[in-house]
Structure 1
Amino acid sequence: MKEVLIATNNKGKRKDFEALFHPLGINVLTLQDVEKTIDVEETGATFEENAILKAETVANLLGKTVIADDSGLEIDALNGAPGVYSARYAGIECDDEKNIDKALEELRGVPSDKRTARFRCVLAVAGPKMETTVFSGSCEGLITEERKGTNGFGYDPVFYVPSKDRTMAELTAEEKSKISHRGAALKKLQAELSTMIQKVGEQIEDNCTE
């Protein structure tokens, strides 16, 4: 089984990537599987800037091809917030629950048809002697007034998907991978996926814990 290194320490994102890559026979590694401690400060103003920053920084540090993603929630009634600050919306030390609480509080009194939102994901593939490539995807939905479901992570419990008549947190991992923003980004990578995965596997194999 080949392996792919995803530049993240997020366990929820790892599960999402595993759901997407395992059917292709690809084992997912994250920065938690690398002996070096790598923490890339996300200073970009957009998802694109942050994804490229993470991918290129980790690729340069490890000398390997790396896939990095930056993703988050955009709520129209909040002028696109939390956006790139999705993971730290309620503060740097806050968690998913507090982030959700803040979003729901700021949406208090906003009618359901005005609670439109989308998850956005940008994937950046970077490595030695290769031009960084970017793929993006999104998933449209509505923000509910209360949490529903126990699957997923982040804002999934309050992100309602009309086509499924359920929140993201009520979907199975397989169902989510088919309609998620991350899945959409990977579908755009589809035409080049086999070639890129081969390169990733060749460069990371037997070197993932250097």
Structure 2
Amino acid sequence: MKLLVATRNAGKVKEIHEILAAVPGVEVVGLAELNIPESPEEDDVEAFDTFEENALAKARYFAAKTGLAALADDSGICVDALGGAPGVRSRRFAPVDDARGERQDQANNRHLVHLLADVPDERRTARYVCAVAVAWPGGDEVVRTGTCEGVVLREPRASEGFGYDPLFYIDDEGRTFGEIPAGRKHEISHRGRALRAIAEALAGVDESEGGA
């Protein structure tokens, strides 16, 4: 089964490739490998209020567009002191119009630090949430969700990772996601947990059943 990873985030593509590499019978390909150009309408696909609905919408969109089974995820950080925000708005949290990629990540982190400036350490709890969906052109779908608990630091600490990783501190690890090596991050992260659940589901899907 050829499985399209439906994201243009290079960090996510790398993580997903690494975690799904062990799934037998699945060939993982990316949008860039298939030369699928970016379209403005992609930004309008994730218009829902839950991670699960957004992941499914994106997977359905690219399955219909390419005729391949498509895997998509929607993930974000939910901060208790902000009532669960930014949540599904995590990718475009900072009030900037022209930032993309790493510049957007940096702007998001600065904005989050600013909003939490007066919040005491004991109230800076948060969790990463990731919903992963696979949609087949024939209409079959599967969704799995993973979470990871942590706290938001007052300043970033990173040598790896992306997004809010430099601010997301794991007590049991004694370091941020931005400091944790990729292999260990895959074991404990929200995305790693959701993808392993998806991998288990895919391992039990016959190609004819999935319509791939």
| Counterpart Cα distance in 1 of 2:175 and 2:195 | 23
Partner of 1:184: 193
1:4 partnered with 2:8: no
Listed one character per residue, the Cα deviations across residues 45-95 of structure 1 (whole Å, up to 9, x for unaligned) are 221111111000110111111111011111110111111111111134331
The answer on whether the counterparts of 1:21 and 1:27 sit within 8 Å (CA) in structure 2 is no
The partner residue of 2:174 within 165, 176, 188 is 165
Inter-partner Cα distance in structure 1 for 2:89 and 2:183:
27
Is the Cα–Cα contact under 8 Å of residues 4 and 201 in structure 1 kept in the other structure? no
Percent sequence identity over matched residues? 39
Aligned counterpart, 1:48: 52
> How large is the Cα RMSD of the aligned pairs?
2.2
Q: Does 1:142 align with 2:146?
A: no
Q: 1:31-70 maps to which residues of 2 (within 5 A)?
A: 31-39=31-39, 40=42, 41=44, 42-70=46-74
**How far did 1:37 drift?**
2.1
- Determine the C-alpha separation between the residues in 2 that align with 1:104 and 1:197: 46
Q: How many residues align?
A: 202
Aligned equivalent of 2:108, options 72, 85, 99: 99
- C-alpha distance in 1, partners of 2:180/2:51? 25
Q: Which residue identity is paired with 1:82? A: P
Tell me which amino acid in the other structure corresponds to 1:142.
V
Question: Which residue identity lines up with residue 164 of structure 1 in the other structure?
Answer: E
1:38·1:58 contact (CA, 8 Å) conserved in 2?
Answer: no
Q: For residue 100 of structure 1, what is the amino acid of its counterpart?
A: N
Offset of 1:110 from its aligned partner? 0.8
Give the unaligned 5+ runs of structure 1.
204-210
Mapped partners of 1:201, 1:15: distance in 2: 25
Consecutive unaligned residues of structure 2, counting only runs of 5 or more, are none
Displaced runs of 4+ in structure 1, greater than 3 A?
23-28, 195-203
CA separation of 1:49/1:108 partners in 2, compared to 1, >3 Å: closer, same or farther?
same
Secondary structure, aligned partner of 1:122: strand
Whether the 8 Å contact between 2:20 and 2:195 is mirrored in structure 1 is no
Distance 1:4 1:190 in 2: 11
